[in-house]
A and B are shown apart, each in its own frame.
Chain A
């Protein structure tokens, strides 16, 4: 069993402030600026509150990065952590306070209001934006007390990055859904079978902040696998003769820091490798091993989703079905009786037709099922199984009878 070492990330964090001229300028001018959870912070903003007292607040902004550098994305909104900033006389700055109300930005970052003020033609960069807000908010404080300035010139310790990614998930932070994505953080995921469907499951799961991703597959990555896996390997890459799990880890470890490979076929002996995970995607071709896997996971109360597709030739066209069956602890497991436990060599129909977009769709449906159980997506109906019928483009649901 090969363990992936966690790569250092403090280097990455420093790089961003130093390599972004606008962020560096903010720091050089003495602002308490840092990045946490993909959000730009400017702390130590003095302001006047409604009681005409001087208080200290924090400005935050979503951040867009291009090649590791901050690139202002025309989003002029900012958020404030503190009470409503006021003018010298205690009147609220209603001209810049857009909405009051707590907003969760993920990573326990909570703001109390949203600010909106835009010069003609929008801000030039993050320096322009943050200094504009900082000045608007702190000027009244400074007029009451000349030393109340946001430019503290603090010698700043970079915030530790405990993120699961090598670079910030600004997709979540910019859309302000980091607090929803946070629900996925505690998961240790297992993917058994990294064939067509399994590899797409990995593609999607690697883009979530789960704490570990374990890959189980003893197969090698052949050229036919390239036609139903995400991405596009070169002839040279195919010729290196890697195992599927190694080939995929090489790609996805560029993004997710904690992918652990197990280049083995799951069988009775190595079932205990699943003890460390709390959710499993079963995407194997060999049906016979499914029974022991299901039984082991049921015993350990580990939830799982099983996928399987069947595509056949109808005349000169293809048709088929994609099955996604959830086995959550609340489900009765009666659907285990309708799973096909046969192996490839026993398949009398002799067809193993898999097409990339079908593998991807099956993988998408599996990941959706997991994320619904995790509370990431709303789930109004307890769906035990979805069956996509290709010839009629229909998604047939089986609801939990309980």
Chain B
């Protein structure tokens, strides 16, 4: 995000809808927060029950925050935020 865009946001107010990237695919999103369940739904994947957890990781969140999103939790959304959804169970 360039400095120009930053100051433009401050003058005009935050954009109503922005783009987030889930598994490399762009999605339009207009809410302040996103939940684990919503991310995996948008990713076209789903956990089947508590034993079949799919990992959700995010980057470039608010204040450039990154981390993993767990079931039942939500995270503040940022323009250009990355989400990765994968079952991390192979060895």
B91 adjacent to A338 (CB under 8 Å): no
Name the A residues within 8 Å of B87 (CB-CB): 310, 340, 342, 347, 349
The closest CB in chain B to the CB of A192 belongs to B91
Does A389 sit within 8 A of B, measured CB to CB? yes
Does A332 sit within 8 A of B, measured CB to CB? no
With A337-B70, A340-B53, A342-B51 as given contacts, are A323 and B88 in contact (CB-CB < 8 Å)? Answer: yes
A340 adjacent to B45 (CB under 8 Å): no
Name the A residues within 8 Å of B45 (CB-CB): 349
Name the B residues within 8 Å of A309 (CB-CB): 88-91
The closest CB in chain A to the CB of B90 belongs to A309
Does A197 sit within 8 A of B, measured CB to CB? yes
Give the contacting residue for B71; candidates A198, A284, A338, A391; CB below 8 A: A338
Q: Cα distance A197–B59 when bound, in Å?
A: 25
B59 adjacent to A308 (CB under 8 Å): no
Give the contacting residue for B89; candidates A287, A394, A396; CB below 8 A: A287
Query: Nearest-CB distance from B55 to chain A (Å)?
Result: 6
Interface size on B, residues (CB 8 A): 25
Does A295 sit within 8 A of B, measured CB to CB? no
A314 adjacent to B24 (CB under 8 Å): yes
The closest CB in chain B to the CB of A315 belongs to B24
A396 adjacent to B67 (CB under 8 Å): yes
Does A215 sit within 8 A of B, measured CB to CB? no
Name the B residues within 8 Å of A385 (CB-CB): 68
| Main SS class of interface, B | loop
B51 adjacent to A394 (CB under 8 Å): no
With A314-B23, A337-B70 as given contacts, are A195 and B91 in contact (CB-CB < 8 Å)? Answer: yes
Name the B residues within 8 Å of A284 (CB-CB): 91
Chain A 380-398 interface mask (CB, 8 Å, partner B; 1/0): 0000010101011010101
Q: Cα distance A394–B83 when bound, in Å?
A: 12
Does B86 sit within 8 A of A, measured CB to CB? yes
Name the B residues within 8 Å of A398 (CB-CB): 67-68
With A197-B91, A319-B23, A338-B55 as given contacts, are A312 and B67 in contact (CB-CB < 8 Å)? Answer: no
Name the A residues within 8 Å of B24 (CB-CB): 314, 319, 391
The closest CB in chain A to the CB of B36 belongs to A338
Name the A residues within 8 Å of B23 (CB-CB): 314, 319, 391
Does A339 sit within 8 A of B, measured CB to CB? yes
Residues of chain A from 268 to 316 with CB closer than 8 A to chain B in the complex? 283-285, 287-288, 307-312, 314
A322 adjacent to B88 (CB under 8 Å): yes
Does A116 sit within 8 A of B, measured CB to CB? no
A310 adjacent to B86 (CB under 8 Å): yes
Chain A 43-79 interface mask (CB, 8 Å, partner B; 1/0): 0000000000000000000000000000000000000
Does A230 sit within 8 A of B, measured CB to CB? no
The closest CB in chain B to the CB of A312 belongs to B86
Give the contacting residue for B59; candidates A285, A346, A396; CB below 8 A: A396
Q: Cα distance A352–B66 when bound, in Å?
A: 27
Query: Nearest-CB distance from B25 to chain A (Å)?
Result: 8
With A195-B91, A196-B91, A340-B53 as given contacts, are A320 and B86 in contact (CB-CB < 8 Å)? Answer: yes
A341 adjacent to B51 (CB under 8 Å): yes
Name the A residues within 8 Å of B66 (CB-CB): 394, 396
Does A155 sit within 8 A of B, measured CB to CB? no
B55 adjacent to A283 (CB under 8 Å): no
With A387-B68, A398-B68 as given contacts, are A352 and B90 in contact (CB-CB < 8 Å)? Answer: yes
Does A348 sit within 8 A of B, measured CB to CB? yes
The closest CB in chain A to the CB of B47 belongs to A340
Name the B residues within 8 Å of A311 (CB-CB): 86, 90
Q: List, sorted by A's number, 30 A–B pairs whose CB atoms are closer than 8 Å.
A: A193-B91, A197-B91, A198-B91, A283-B91, A284-B91, A285-B89, A285-B90, A308-B90, A309-B91, A310-B88, A310-B90, A312-B86, A319-B84, A321-B55, A321-B86, A321-B88, A338-B53, A338-B70, A340-B51, A340-B87, A340-B89, A349-B45, A362-B91, A389-B57, A389-B84, A391-B23, A396-B57, A396-B67, A396-B68, A398-B67
Q: In the complex, given contacts A314-B23, A314-B24, what are 12 additional A-B residue pairs having Cβ atoms less than 8 angstroms apart? A: A287-B51, A311-B86, A337-B50, A337-B53, A341-B51, A349-B45, A354-B91, A387-B55, A389-B59, A391-B23, A396-B57, A396-B67
Q: Which residues of B contact A (CB under 8 A)?
A: 23-24, 45, 48, 50-55, 57, 59, 66-68, 70-71, 82, 84, 86-91
